[in-house]
């Protein structure tokens, strides 16, 4: 009734991941390291960390999950976790180079090359990180360095951001409808705005029982009320079609309008005839 991914992934996705992890990730880590080191503002560092995680997640999703056609949720999670861990590992490698050579300064090329060499010695990295944790590093106030458990907590939070964001941004793609016969992701066909789905539970119950009465009754939204629905159809193998229905409405909070989007149902199987009829009528 609901779409289920095949769980497949190819050897090509593993090769793509290795290239991504060993080429793109170190470059992003180097940029992040410089930004976080030379702009020691707490709020900026938080934003930089989020941007770092976002960039990792976006590239992982585009270059590895999509291009590598990964339909296995577990593999998607594994790739995302490894991406975050590898990114933090290179970050520490570059950071240590800058930290212990700050007085003399180092060119970016030297930090990159020496950092990559240091990355080949994990024992040395862990030893130096432990040393830094003991003596302390930056603090929330000038001259107020933090060390020990507080610094460890900061590092853990940083790592969690860098790991969780790629998971959030890429794992969901593995469950996206995929056409196995054509070996490609399904092309979505979206129609709308349609009438707001006032009885979402009833629509779901009908579709789960094979009844498309309520779905077929939806029409183009002509109501002046800022509420409507959007229907997205996916054609995959042997005429199988799936639907994602979303309600959209404008809410007013503190005098400001805010758009609220809520999935009514996601990736539920619907007859090809109703899909073709609605697409032809409303596209």
Helix (H) or strand (E) holding 267: strand 256-270
Whether pLDDT at 275 is above 70? yes
Check whether residue 17 and residue 48 sit in a common domain: yes
What's this model's pTM, rounded to 2 decimal places?
0.85
Q: Which pLDDT score is estimated for 140?
A: 44
Check whether residue 143 and residue 38 sit in a common domain: yes
Q: Lowest-confidence range among 76-80, 91-95, 99-103, 212-216? A: 99-103
Residue 4, in any domain of the structure: no
Residue 210, in any domain of the structure: yes
- The number of domains in the chain is 2
* pLDDT grade for 43, boundaries at 50, 70 and 90: confident
Whether pLDDT at 28 is above 60? yes
Give me the mean pLDDT over the 105-128 stretch.
Answer: 84
Check whether residue 88 and residue 189 sit in a common domain: no
Whether pLDDT at 239 is above 90? no
Separation of alpha carbons 70 and 68, rounded Å: 6
Check whether residue 164 and residue 215 sit in a common domain: no
Check whether residue 182 and residue 153 sit in a common domain: no
Give me the mean pLDDT over the 93-103 stretch.
Answer: 81
Check whether residue 21 and residue 133 sit in a common domain: yes
Give me the mean pLDDT over the 106-121 stretch.
Answer: 83
Q: Which pLDDT score is estimated for 102?
A: 61
Check whether residue 167 and residue 212 sit in a common domain: no
Mean pLDDT value across the chain: 90
Give me the mean pLDDT over the 235-263 stretch.
Answer: 87
Whether pLDDT at 97 is above 80? yes
Q: Of the residues 175, 196, 228, which one is the last residue of a structural domain?
A: 175
Give me the mean pLDDT over the 91-96 stretch.
Answer: 93
Give me the mean pLDDT over the 108-134 stretch.
Answer: 87
Three-point CA angle 177, 9, 160, nearest 5°: 85
Check whether residue 171 and residue 82 sit in a common domain: yes
Whether pLDDT at 142 is above 60? no
Residue 197, in any domain of the structure: yes
Show Cβ contacts of residue 7 under 8 Å, excluding neighbours closer than 6 positions: 71, 72, 73
* pLDDT grade for 105, boundaries at 50, 70 and 90: low
* pLDDT grade for 190, boundaries at 50, 70 and 90: very high
- Per the CB < 8 A criterion, the answer to whether 257 and 269 are in contact is no
Residue 2, in any domain of the structure: no
Residue 272, in any domain of the structure: yes
Q: Of the residues 134, 152, 175, which one is the last residue of a structural domain?
A: 175
SS3 category, 234 = strand
Give me the mean pLDDT over the 20-39 stretch.
Answer: 93
Give me the mean pLDDT over the 204-232 stretch.
Answer: 92
Residue 204, in any domain of the structure: yes
Separation of alpha carbons 57 and 146, rounded Å: 30
Check whether residue 16 and residue 138 sit in a common domain: yes
Give per-residue burial for 199-212: e unless 16+ CB within 10 Å, then b: ebeebbeebeeeeb
Whether pLDDT at 98 is above 50? yes
Whether pLDDT at 106 is above 70? no
Q: Of the residues 175, 209, 242, which one is the last residue of a structural domain?
A: 175
Range of the domain at 80: 11-175
Give me the mean pLDDT over the 126-133 stretch.
Answer: 87
Check whether residue 121 and residue 239 sit in a common domain: no
Residue 1, in any domain of the structure: no
If one compares 13 and 112, the residue with the highest pLDDT of the two is: 13
Check whether residue 62 and residue 129 sit in a common domain: yes
If one compares 37 and 33, the residue with the highest pLDDT of the two is: 33
Whether pLDDT at 143 is above 60? no
- Per the CB < 8 A criterion, the answer to whether 243 and 200 are in contact is no
Residue 3, in any domain of the structure: no
Q: Which pLDDT score is estimated for 269?
A: 95
CB-neighbour burial class of residue 8 (10 A; exposed 0-12, middle 13-18, buried 19+): middle
Check whether residue 19 and residue 114 sit in a common domain: yes
């Amino acid at each position: 009734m609901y779409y289920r991914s095949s769980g497949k992934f190819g050897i090509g996705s593993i090769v793509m991941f290795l290239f991504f992890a060993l080429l793109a990730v170190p470059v992003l880590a180097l940029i992040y390291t410089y930004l976080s080191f030379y702009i020691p503002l707490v709020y900026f560092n938080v934003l930089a960390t989020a941007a770092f995680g976002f960039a990792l997640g976006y590239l992982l999703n585009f270059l590895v999950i999509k291009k590598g056609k990964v339909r296995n949720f577990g593999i998607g999670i594994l790739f995302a976790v490894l991406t975050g861990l590898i990114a933090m590992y290179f970050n520490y490698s570059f950071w240590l180079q800058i930290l212990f050579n700050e007085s003399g300064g180092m060119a970016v090329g030297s930090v990159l090359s020496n950092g990559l060499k240091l990355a080949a010695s994990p024992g040395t990295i862990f030893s130096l990180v432990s040393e830094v944790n003991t003596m302390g590093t930056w603090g929330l106030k000038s001259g107020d360095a933090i060390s020990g458990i507080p610094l460890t907590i900061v590092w853990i939070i940083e790592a969690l951001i860098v790991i969780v964001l790629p998971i959030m941004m890429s794992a969901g793609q593995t469950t996206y409808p995929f056409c196995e016969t054509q070996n490609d992701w399904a092309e979505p066909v979206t129609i709308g705005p349609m009438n707001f789905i006032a009885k979402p539970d009833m629509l779901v119950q009908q579709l789960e029982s094979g009844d498309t009465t309520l779905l077929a009754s939806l029409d183009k939204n002509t109501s002046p009320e800022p509420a409507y629905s959007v229907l997205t159809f996916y054609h995959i193998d042997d005429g199988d079609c799936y639907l994602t229905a979303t309600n959209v409405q404008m809410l007013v909070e503190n005098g400001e309008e805010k758009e609220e989007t809520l999935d009514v149902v996601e990736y539920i199987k619907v007859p090809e005839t109703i899909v073709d009829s609605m697409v032809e009528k409303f596209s």
